[in-house]
Amino acid sequence: MKTDSIFYRLFQEFPSIFFELIGNQPQTAAAYKFSSVEIKQTAFRIDGVFLPIKNQDAQNPIYFLEVQFQDDEKIYYRLFSEVFLYLRQYQPQNPWKGVVIYPSRSLDTADTQHYSEFFTSQRVSRIYLDELGESASLPIGIATIKLIIEDENKAITTGKELINRTKQEINNDKQQQLLELLETILVYKFPRMSRKEIEAMFSLSDLKQTKVYQEGREEGREEGREEGREEGSLEAKLEAIPRLLALNLTVEQIAQALNLTVETVQKIAGGNRE
């Protein structure tokens, strides 16, 4: 999964999630816009920056965001270099803070001796996603972030729960937007599964109406119809049945998702158990 792009898309579309993640009220997002900024002289680009909206409180800090999912012993050299070059170039009046997001503490291996006071003062904070708690007890936005790091087995259960929570808890125009984001995460987490398998696993009967499916459909057309025939063929459907059974879907659910008869699925299921 292109993890950083998922995060930046999430914070672009749902900036309130970032402020929940760092312990602020989600309403704080109304005073900010999420952007990337370029430091021209050095050709640096800082991918994630929450900039206070003009005419808002001058004490609202600028937030520099770093998402780090790989071991990088030089991350803090890079981060602080970019921050201070930005301050030199733009000379903002607002104070600043930094946030580094790791999947787990084990990846936070870089030396901090030159920057220890920034961590001690909490000017720069580090967030370890696997230490946030159980997804069911987290706000839906933060639970969506945590879905990115779940293993496949847990992602199945958590994904289903989040889709149901989104449908129940979000009634405004953000519901479809968040569902599409969840679907994007799930598509990337299960790259070997076909669209029909993902639909069946997560009860995504409306996936055909989403941006995720529409983009995939267009890609399929550009590549030709051969792949589409393969996915829709009887052989491909039959091969999908054992994988769906392993995910604890019922025979009826599988038959409906793959447009097969219950008898056909039962036949394959019986042979699979043997």
18-68 pLDDT, tens digit per residue, is 999 999 999 999 999 998 887 765 556 777 899 999 877 788 999 999 999
Supply φ then ψ for residue 80, to 5 degrees.
-70, -30
Q: Name the average pLDDT for the chain.
A: 82
Q: What average pLDDT does range 166-192 have in this prediction?
A: 84
| d(C-alpha 242, C-alpha 146), whole Å | 28
pLDDT of residue 44: 65
Instruction: Identify the residue with better confidence: 265 or 219.
Output: 265
pLDDT exceeds 80 at position 98: yes
Q: Give the pLDDT band of residue 162 (cuts 50, 70, 90).
A: very high
Which of 48-57, 69-78, 91-100, 106-115 comes out lowest in average pLDDT?
48-57
Under a CB-based contact definition with an 8 Å cutoff, are residues 46 and 11 in contact? no
pLDDT of residue 263: 84
pLDDT of residue 49: 93
Under a CB-based contact definition with an 8 Å cutoff, are residues 61 and 97 in contact? yes
Instruction: Give Cα 15 to chain centroid, integer Å.
Output: 13
Under a CB-based contact definition with an 8 Å cutoff, are residues 64 and 92 in contact? no
Q: What average pLDDT does range 239-264 have in this prediction?
A: 77
Tokens encoding 85:
């070059």
The fraction of the chain above a pLDDT of 90, given in percent, is 44
Q: What average pLDDT does range 185-194 have in this prediction?
A: 80
pLDDT of residue 2: 58
Q: Buried b vs exposed e over 16-42: b needs ≥16 C-beta within 10 Å? A: bbbbbbeeeebebbebbebeebebeee
Q: What average pLDDT does range 74-84 have in this prediction?
A: 93
Nearest to 34 by CA among 14, 65, 12, 58: 12
| d(C-alpha 88, C-alpha 97), whole Å | 15
Nearest to 129 by CA among 99, 156, 157, 109: 99
Tokens encoding 49:
């920056």
Q: What average pLDDT does range 173-179 have in this prediction?
A: 85
pLDDT exceeds 80 at position 195: no
| d(C-alpha 268, C-alpha 239), whole Å | 9
pLDDT exceeds 50 at position 99: yes
- Which of left, alpha, beta for 236 (phi over 0: left; psi -120 to 50: alpha)? alpha
Rounded to two decimals, the pTM is 0.73
Tokens encoding 184:
């994007």
pLDDT exceeds 60 at position 238: yes
pLDDT exceeds 60 at position 1: no
Percent of the chain as helix, strand, coil, to the nearest 5: 60, 15, 30
Q: Counting runs of H as helices and runs of E as strands, what totals does the chain give? A: 13, 5
The fraction of the chain above a pLDDT of 70, given in percent, is 82
